[in-house]
Every structure is written in C-alpha cells, then in structure tokens.
Amino acid sequence: MIRIRITFAKTSAMRYTGHLDLHRAWERTFRRAGLPLAYSEGFNPHPRLNLASALPLGFTGAGEVIDAWLEQDLPLSEIQAALQRALPPGLQVTQIETVDLRLPALQTELEASEYNLTFLEPFPELADRVQALLSALSLPRQRRERDYDLRPLILDIQILPPDGLDRPQLNVRLVAREGATGRPEEVIAALGYDPQLVRVHRNRLLFRVG
Amino acid sequence: MHTPVEIEAFLERTLLKVQKPARYTGGEINQVVKDWNHIPTKIALVFPDLYDLGMSNLGLAILYELLNQRPDVLAERAYAPWSDMEAELRAASIPLYSLETKHPLAAFDIIGFTLPYETLYTNALNILDLAVIPLFSAQRNEGHPLVIAGGHAAYNPEPMYPFIDAFVIGEGEEVIEEIVDIQQAWKRCGASRQDLLLSLAQIWGVYVPSLYEAHYHPDGVLSHLEARFPEAQLPVLKRIVGKLPPAPTHFIVPYIDTVHNRAPVEITRGCTRGCRFCHAGIVSRPVRERSVTEIVETIEQALGNTGYEEVGLLSLSSSDYTDIVKLVEAVSQRFVGRHLSISLPSLRIESFSVDLMDALKDSRRSGFTLAPEAATERMRDIINKPVSTRQLLDTARAIYSRGWHNLKLYFMIGHPSETIEDVQAISDLCKAVLAEGRKLIGRRAQVTAGVSTFIPKPHTPFQWVPCDTLEQITIKLELLKRSLRGPGLKLNWNSPEDTMLEAWLSRGDRRMAEVVYHAWLGGAKFDAWKDRFRFDIWQQAFATVGLDPAFYTHRLRPLEELLPWDHISTGVRKKYLADDYLRSQQGVTRDDCRERCYACGILPSFAGLRRLNTGDVWQCPEVKSPQGMAERLHPLAINK
C-alpha cells in the first residue's frame, strides 16, 4: 500500500461540484486511470480518499490537496501519467508525491486558506472598507443562527491590482483549523458587498509545518 | 440571436443563485465539443425533464454517440431547467441553450426530443417556448429548426401532433442518419419547409402529422385519418434495426448525482413473454440479443471510459436472455474484485433468479425486486403473467435465506375484471411473503409493496378496455392502505390523479393536443413530479377545450372501433391483439413465444430484415420460404 498526496486545481464547470461529488469524481478518475485504489474493509467498502478541505460550491481552487491510498506500489511517474489521461475537464494535477502512511489526516494539519476575491461590479469604497475591517477589534457576525467573531479568523487582507477586466481584487488569508474556519463569503458580507457578485478562488492551503 | 458569450456571461451571474448549478454547465467528461462554425448539421438532443433524470436516458446516449461519430454532424444536449433557473432565464430574456457550446436551441438545425413517457409533454412545449421556437409546427418557417420526437410515447403521437414536425416511430439508430441526410440535401437546395416534410415522410419509420387530417363521427369516435399527400404513408410502420448496433460506451459522466448514475448496457431488446398490459413488450418486438462476448467487452470499455462503479444490464426480461448463465459467469469472473456493483433488473419469479443475483454479488442493500403484477393466480392468467403463488413463495424463501432482507413486490390494481377480492389478495400475499421471511430471518424481514394502477396502453391486447375511475382507484388504494400496515410492511403507491393524466395522454387523439396546449398555458409542467403536478389545471384545460376526459379513459371500446393510433403500426397485427384480448377474458394464457411462434405479425412485417440476420440474433423463427414478390427489405416498397 502507498499513500500519495496530490495537489490539484479545480476550475471551470468543476467549480459547481460540491464536496461529496468531488470525492466521487476523484474515485472515478482513479478507476478510469486503472490505478488500484484501496478500499475500506467492511460491508460497504468505500475508496480510501481524503480531501484536505471542502471547497464551497462555486469557488475555484489552484492548490487543493487530496490523499489517495493505492493497493500497489507504483512509480509516481506512472501514476501521474495515468491520472493525466483520466482527469475530467476542470481538474488538473499540479503536484504529486508519496507520503508516509502514518501521517495524520490532512484536515487535522490544515492551518489556513488563502483566497483571491474578484469583484464583478465596481467597488469604489473597497480600500476604506478593508481598512475598517482590519482595524476592528472584533467583527460579531451570525452564521446558521450562531453568533461568532469573524475578526480573529482573518489573518490578512491585501488589496491587489485590478484584473485584466479592471475588476477590483483582494487577497485574503483566513484561519482554516477544525472548528475555526473563516469563510470568504462572510468577509465579503462584512465588507458590505453581495457575495454572489464575487468570484472566489482559493490559491492555496497552508498546512502546519513539521 | 444570443451568442454563447452572452449566455456564458448570464450563467456566470446566475448559477450560484440556483439549486444544483451543475445541471446547467455541461463540461463533463466524455461530452463532445466540435467546432460549431465548421460542422454543417447541428442537432440538439433534448430530454424534456431535469438533467438529473435525462442523463440516464439510454436512447439519447445512443444517439449522441452515434451522431457525434459523423464528421458532418454535431450533437449537443439540453434539458428542462428547474423552476428557479427558468425564472432566471425568463427574467434575463436568455433562451434555452445547449450544454456543450451554449448555443441557443434555435440556432440548431434539428431539435430532437425523446418522449419516453407522456407526462413530459408540457415540458416539451415549455422548452420550445424557452427556446423562442414557435410551439406549433405550422408557425415554423425555413429559419426555424426541424423539431422531431421519438421514444415510446411516440407510438401514439396524436396528442402531440401539432407541435412536432416529424415523429420517429420505433428505433432511432438508422433512421436518424437518414433524417440528417435528407435535412442536409434540403438545406443545400434551399427548398421550402413543406418540401422537407414531404421528403421526411418517405423515410421508413417517420410520421409527419401535418400531412394527415383526422375525421370524426358525430359521437366523437375517429372515423378515418386521411392522408392528404401521396408522400404520406398509411399505416406508418415502425423502424427497427435488424441487428443491435455496437452499444455506446462513452457515456457522459455527470459531476453531480443523478438517477441511475451508472453505465447501462442493453443486453437484449424486445420481450417474448406477452404480458397483456405491457406496452414495451409489444412495441419493442422482435427480441434481438447481444452476445456474451460483446456485452463483456462493452462493460470493459464503458468502465474504462467512465470510471463508473456500477453497471446496469438492461432488458425487459433478464431471465429470458438466452445465455444468461454464461453471461453472469463471464461478468462475475471478469469483474470480480473491482468494487463494482452490477444490477440485473427484471428477473423472473423463480429461485433461479436468486442464484443469478448471488453470482453477481449485487449490492444487497437495495433489496430484491419481483414483479408479480397481480396477487391471484386468476388475475395473473388474465394478464398473461402466469406464476403460481407457490412459486412466488418459494422464490421469496430463497431470497430471504440468501441474505436479502427487503423484498420489493410490484403490483398493479385496476386490471380488467379485477374485483375487490383481487385487491385484498395483494395485502394477503404480501403478508404471506413476510411470514416466510420471518420464519427464516426473523424481524429483519421486510416487504415493500409498490402499487401502481393499470392503464390500458395503445398497441396492447388491453387497448380496448376502460381504466378504473378515480373513485374506484381511491377505494382500492384505501383498502390497501388500511390492510397493508404493520411492522415489516411498507406500501408505496401512485396517486390516482397521476394515473388519470397518464391515461388521458397515452390514449388521446388529435383533439387532446389542444388540452395539452391549454394545460401548458395554464401553467402545467413537470407533470411527472408529485409536488408539481396540478390536476386542477388539466381539468380546467379539458373544460376549456370542451372535451370529456371519460371519453378517453372510461369507455369500453368496441373491437371494430378505429383507434387514434391505428395508423401507427408496431408490426404486430390488430387482429392478434384482439385474439389475445378475447383469450384473456377466458383466462387463457399464451406461452413465451420463444417456444412457439403465435404469428403476431412481426415476421411478415420485417421478413426481409430477419432473412438478413440469421440464427439466434433474433428470437423469432427463421424465414425459410423463398423471398416473395411482396416482401422487400424496405417495407415501404410494398406501398409502391
């Protein structure tokens, strides 16, 4: 048995695929690739795949991470070539490595997520609003009828130059630990903007080092 | 007309506001995208319900793969948007578009609807409306797409006659190519739309309703259908393929979960059993089989192309596949250890079926399904599904003792001559089955009864009989709901109103088209969805048009009456159906026609094809006589 760690991009139509469906898309990719995915024991075996972090519907990602367990020890180059042939449109492998079977689950190692936000409509007050957000000591918000403070979940917000279509852009880094996850749509709402009019792209996942 | 760029821009702003946006994006693995500007013929294949349902339609998957193999054709997909997406499309004045390249449907040369069941009719109208294509064939001009339709409901095309330019009656694999050829020739020479329709009418299996006129007796019964042009065939004989072509293997794999999210492989087409209520059993004759080798290879390729973890081996009666044992052995040997679930639906009620399922190691969570259709031996003889109650109980014991906990039993109420005792027997039989289960596995045993209501479908031996009324159905269902309860028992049923709608639409004549139109105007759509179906809209539509629904469904039709679908020939003779109907009234069954040919009419209708496809490819006897003068490969030649 080997455990491989794949960094991948999720783009185009794939961004409308939710977490469970993404899991299934990966399973089918491995099956098309003819790679011997390991399955759990028991009455209802399921493939041993482990996604680091759910990417909400509609978001694209450049540095998503998944672990997969294979029954057979195959050279990485072979695995990569087989996956490359089998990937659906909207999934691209950017990095692949073998990792120790004993490493803890990816989710438990996740520390933070870094996003790029693109605002589809002009947003002249953007700089002021960002400044206000960052200088606030707390940002009380409510999600699913639960009160919480968004401010400690925001690690950093930087204003980026506008994109090719002259749309304002932000780079946002949010805490992404189990039980303490900052959500980009909450940041957007806190900025006083309609989250449905923002493209969210997750640049990378930041894991605990060492 | 809107451009794909404009439509993409609309989607960018809209998709996050609607449920399951992946229904509307396309971009899945195995979709075919061709260069729009360099392909002469563009076809949109449309399933008039949600993507979630339409993606599992095998008919369209076959045509999609076939058409896209032609270098001069591109085929793309479209489905009915759910109401949230429809509201967005209408609010932004964006027309319905194809998933592959986001072109408006109106930009295609041909729109091909599949109509596998009647409750899709209002959705088909709604799709034309969303596509800004005139609903009525007569209102379309040379600049509009050709609108064609096929599928099992098209065997009675009349309730949709004014909306569809041409119907394909029967199997689409060959005829679609001929339609494309004719359409291309027509486009090159720039003739009128009427010229196109006249040319299409001459293809075997194509029905162009505008070339005919229906005449009625004062009492509303059809008097005759007049062919107004020499090109209009009468009757229109269904199209079939002599040999099943290579099965599709490049299924588009949806990104979201859909109904039957799996690789379907058609092992046979047609059925020799002759259950008298069964529309598919008559219209899909003769039986043609694929070989074990071909099926195994098809599965292998389909799995390689899709990565599916489930395969459905499809047929109307799996147990009747000639080499079923060899097939099950070959499949289980080849695919063992691949974490694959293989389903083999439509098994006969015999313990051998349990052996088959056991060999496939089919996932047992889903339960084991049997369809006795009626609960008394008397009634099963009438419908020609003769199984003894003892055999059913033996099979049930085998199922429970081999590891299945839930036995699903399908029944119909409302069969001809059914009494309340026959209905009560459904409950008694389910309890008897459960008692057997209890003996073997105790409290884990379950029985789920699925009860639907019989509809006398066109082209079947029961086409003359009336349906139960709403009141009768309600009384019978109430009885079952009262008596079929308790631990281990579950009852599922169809609402009587759903049944009525399906009965009206399947038995309707040309005047029913006006009802369909008014129902759509009144807001009817997604009629197949329990929470969307509005019975009152349909009642109102009947009132508006001035038709009595009971005329279609609650009237015993005399054998000599001209039926609205009599000009459509399935190859089975009306005389054969009538004989079989009379036999049913005497409780006389008819054996599997593999054992002995009962001369239903299929062989004389398709003798030329049978002659070309010798041996076990067909389950009908071989045609041994020398080729006669009247017999041609192309049945239309008979008319000339």
Over residues A71-96, the mean pLDDT reads: 96
CB B568 within 8 A of CB B238: yes
| φ, ψ at B444 (rounded to 5°) | -70, -20
The reply to whether A145 and A131 lie within a common domain is yes
- How close B326 comes to chain A (CA, Å)? 26
Residue located via tokens 């049997």: B370
Over residues B532-560, the mean pLDDT reads: 97
The reply to whether A144 and A202 lie within a common domain is yes
Which domain does B62 fall in, by range? Answer: 4-237
* Angle of the B172-189 helix axis to the B58-69 helix axis, nearest 10: 50
**Cβ distance of B22 and A31 shorter than 8 Å:** no
* Angle of the A19-33 helix axis to the A76-86 helix axis, nearest 10: 110
pLDDT tens digit sequence for A9-63:
999 989 999 999 999 999 999 999 999 999 998 878 899 999 999 999 999 999 9
The reply to whether A99 and A114 lie within a common domain is no
The reply to whether A121 and A95 lie within a common domain is no
Share of chain A above pLDDT 90, in %: 93
- Compute the C-alpha angle B64/B68/B73, nearest 5°: 115
Over residues A72-88, the mean pLDDT reads: 97
Please give the Cα distance from B158 to B562 (Å, whole number).
Answer: 14
| φ, ψ at B378 (rounded to 5°) | -55, -50
Query: Measured between beta carbons, which residues in chain A are less than 8 angstroms from residue B17?
Result: 196
Res B629 pLDDT > 50: no
Domain boundary among A50, A69, A103: A103
Share of chain B above pLDDT 70, in %: 97
The reply to whether A93 and A10 lie within a common domain is yes
* Angle of the B193-200 helix axis to the B172-189 helix axis, nearest 10: 150
Query: Measured between beta carbons, which residues in chain A are less than 8 angstroms from residue B257?
Result: 20-21, 24
Please give the Cα distance from A82 to A67 (Å, whole number).
Answer: 16
Over residues A79-108, the mean pLDDT reads: 96
CB B454 within 8 A of CB B276: no
CB B545 within 8 A of CB B504: no
| φ, ψ at B235 (rounded to 5°) | -80, 170
Is B186 among the domain residues? Answer: yes
CATH number at residue A138: 3.30.70
- How close A68 comes to chain B (CA, Å)? 16
Q: How far apart are the first and last CA of chain A?
A: 24
Give me chain B's average pLDDT, please.
Answer: 95
Please give the Cα distance from B145 to B550 (Å, whole number).
Answer: 36
**How many separate domains does chain A show?**
2
**How many separate domains does chain B show?**
1
What does the DSSP 8-state code read for residue B537?
A: H
**Cβ distance of A25 and B255 shorter than 8 Å:** yes
Domain boundary among A103, A118, A146: A103
The reply to whether A46 and A133 lie within a common domain is no
Q: State the best of B8, B255, B303 to mutate against chain A, taking most chain A CBs within 10 Å.
A: B255
Over residues A97-110, the mean pLDDT reads: 96
Is B456 among the domain residues? Answer: no
**Does A133 reach chain B within 8 Å, measured CB to CB?**
no
Is B230 among the domain residues? Answer: yes
**Cβ distance of A28 and B253 shorter than 8 Å:** yes
**Cβ distance of A58 and B15 shorter than 8 Å:** yes
pLDDT band at B640 (very low <50, low <70, confident <90, very high): very low
The reply to whether A96 and A146 lie within a common domain is no
Query: Measured between beta carbons, which residues in chain B are less than 8 angstroms from residue A31?
Result: 303, 307-309
Give the pTM. 0.96
Amino acid at B76: E
pLDDT band at B408 (very low <50, low <70, confident <90, very high): very high
Over residues A90-95, the mean pLDDT reads: 97
Res B630 pLDDT > 50: no
CATH number at residue A77: 3.30.70.580
Query: Measured between beta carbons, which residues in chain A are less than 8 angstroms from residue B364?
Result: none
Query: Measured between beta carbons, which residues in chain A are less than 8 angstroms from residue B339?
Result: 39, 45, 47
**Does A103 reach chain B within 8 Å, measured CB to CB?**
no
pLDDT tens digit sequence for B560-569:
999 999 999 9
pLDDT tens digit sequence for B291-347:
999 999 999 999 999 999 999 999 999 999 999 999 999 999 999 889 999 999 899
Query: Measured between beta carbons, which residues in chain B are less than 8 angstroms from residue A120?
Result: 12-13
CATH number at residue B219: 3.40.50.280
What does the DSSP 8-state code read for residue B621?
A: P
**Cβ distance of A58 and B17 shorter than 8 Å:** no
pLDDT value of position A210: 62
Number of H helices, E strands in chain A: 5, 11
What residue in B sits closest to A47 (Cα-Cα)? B339
The reply to whether A65 and A142 lie within a common domain is no
Please give the Cα distance from B264 to B291 (Å, whole number).
Answer: 16
What residue in A sits closest to B26 (Cα-Cα)? A13
Is B404 among the domain residues? Answer: no
Nearest to A21 among B12, B257, B339 (CB): B257
Over residues B568-589, the mean pLDDT reads: 97
The reply to whether A97 and A6 lie within a common domain is yes
Q: State the best of A16, A55, A200 to mutate against chain B, taking most chain B CBs within 10 Å.
A: A16
The reply to whether A201 and A116 lie within a common domain is yes
Distances (CA, A) of A55 to A4, A9, A62, A209, B25: 20, 11, 11, 22, 18
Is B26 among the domain residues? Answer: yes
Domain boundary among A51, A84, A103: A103
**Does B33 reach chain A within 8 Å, measured CB to CB?**
no
Res B635 pLDDT > 60: no
Residue located via tokens 């209002």: B122
Q: Is the peptide bond before B286 cis (omega within 30 degrees of 0)?
A: yes
pLDDT tens digit sequence for B52-79:
999 999 999 999 999 999 999 999 999 9
**Lowest model confidence (mean pLDDT) among A113-117, B104-108, B397-401, B613-617:** B613-617
The reply to whether A48 and A68 lie within a common domain is yes
Which domain does A137 fall in, by range? Answer: 109-207
What residue in B sits closest to A28 (Cα-Cα)? B307
- How close B14 comes to chain A (CA, Å)? 9
pLDDT value of position B360: 86
**Does B308 reach chain A within 8 Å, measured CB to CB?**
yes
What residue in B sits closest to A39 (Cα-Cα)? B339
CB B77 within 8 A of CB B57: no
Residue located via tokens 């194809």: B98
Grouping H, G, I as helix, E, B as strand and the rest as coil, residue B477 is helix
Q: Which two tokens stand for residue B207?
A: 């029905």
**Cβ distance of B257 and A86 shorter than 8 Å:** no
The residues, any chain, with a CB within 8 Å of residue A197's CB and separated by 6 or more, are: A119, A120, A121, B13
Is B143 among the domain residues? Answer: yes
Q: Which conformational region is residue B469 in: left (phi greater than 0), alpha (psi within -120 to 50 degrees), or beta?
A: beta
The reply to whether A54 and A123 lie within a common domain is no
Nearest to A13 among B253, B255, B303 (CB): B255
pLDDT band at B404 (very low <50, low <70, confident <90, very high): very high
**Does B305 reach chain A within 8 Å, measured CB to CB?**
yes
| φ, ψ at A141 (rounded to 5°) | -140, 170
**Cβ distance of B307 and A58 shorter than 8 Å:** no
Is B640 among the domain residues? Answer: no
Query: Measured between beta carbons, which residues in chain A are less than 8 angstroms from residue B22?
Result: 13, 16-17, 21
Res B627 pLDDT > 70: no
How many beta-carbon contacts under 8 Å exist across A and B? 69
pLDDT tens digit sequence for B477-521:
999 999 999 999 999 999 999 999 999 999 999 999 999 999 999
pLDDT value of position B628: 55
Nearest to B22 among A16, A20, A47 (CB): A16
pLDDT value of position B210: 98
Please give the Cα distance from A50 to A68 (Å, whole number).
Answer: 6
Is B94 among the domain residues? Answer: yes
- How close B7 comes to chain A (CA, Å)? 14
Please give the Cα distance from B455 to B499 (Å, whole number).
Answer: 7
- How close A203 comes to chain B (CA, Å)? 20
Grouping H, G, I as helix, E, B as strand and the rest as coil, residue A92 is strand
